Amino acid sequence: QWGLQTNWLGKQIIHKATTNSTQQVAHQAARENAEHGTVIIADEQTEGKGRMERHWHSPKNKGIWMSLILRPPIPPAAAPQLTLLTATVLADVITEYTTASPNIKWPNDLLIRDKKTAGILTEMQAEQDRIKYVVAGIGINVNHSYDNFPSEISNKATSLKLETGQDLQVVPIIQHILRCFERSYDAFIRDGFSTIKNKWESYGYKIGEAIKIRTNHEILEATFTGIAEDGALLVHTDSDGTRKMYSGEIEWFRK
Ligand code: BTN
What is the DSSP pairing of strand 210-214 with strand 249-250?
Answer: antiparallel
Atom number in ligand 1 closest to CA 47: 14
CA-nearest residue, atom 7 of ligand 1: 139
Interval 1-45: pLDDT, tens: 458 999 999 999 999 999 999 999 999 999 999 999 999 999 999
pTM of the model: 0.94
Measured in Å, residue 138 CA sits from the centre of ligand 1 at 5
Number of CB atoms found within 10 A of residue 166's CB: 14
Answer whether CATH 3.30.930.10 is correct for domain 13-203. Answer: yes
Interval 220-231: pLDDT, tens: 899 999 999 999
% helix / strand / coil in the chain, to the nearest 5? Answer: 30, 35, 35
Residue type, 98: T
Helix (H) or strand (E) holding 134: strand 130-141
Atom number in ligand 1 closest to CA 26: 12
Number of CB atoms found within 10 A of residue 122's CB: 24
Q: Which overall architecture, per CATH, does domain 210-250 show? A: Roll (2.30)
Q: Where in the chain is the domain with CATH 3.30.930.10?
A: 13-203
Measured in Å, residue 19 CA sits from the centre of ligand 1 at 13
Interval 182-200: pLDDT, tens: 999 999 999 999 999 999 9
- Predicted pLDDT of residue 255: 38
Q: Say whether pLDDT at 69 is over 70.
A: yes
Q: In Å, what is the CA distance from 136 to each residue of 50, 80, 82, 185?
A: 12, 10, 8, 12
Select from 21, 24, 56 the residue to mutate for testing ligand 1; criterion: most ligand atoms less than 8 Å from CB: 56
Measured in Å, residue 43 CA sits from the centre of ligand 1 at 13
For ligand 1, residues with CB inside 6 Å are: 21-23, 45, 48-51, 54, 56, 58, 65-67, 108-109, 119-121, 137-139
Interval 134-184: pLDDT, tens: 999 999 999 999 889 998 888 899 999 999 999 899 999 999 999 999 999
Can you tell me the distance from the alpha carbon of 100 to that of 116, in angstroms, rounded to the nearest whole number? Answer: 13
Measured in Å, residue 241 CA sits from the centre of ligand 1 at 34
Mean pLDDT (the chain) is 94
Measured in Å, residue 94 CA sits from the centre of ligand 1 at 17
Q: Where in the chain is the domain with CATH 2.30.30?
A: 210-250
Q: Say whether pLDDT at 254 is over 60.
A: no
Residue type, 227: I
Residue type, 201: E
Measured in Å, residue 52 CA sits from the centre of ligand 1 at 11
DSSP 139-173: EEE-S--GGGS-GGGTTTB--HHHHH-----HHHH
Would you give the distance in Å from CA 6 to the centre of its chain?
20
CB 53 within 8 A of CB 123: no
**What is the interface pTM, i.e. ipTM, of the complex?**
0.99
Measured in Å, residue 119 CA sits from the centre of ligand 1 at 6
Q: In Å, what is the CA distance from 114 to each residue of 1, 157, 252?
A: 35, 9, 9
Select from 27, 47, 57, 58 the residue to mutate for testing ligand 1; criterion: most ligand atoms less than 8 Å from CB: 58
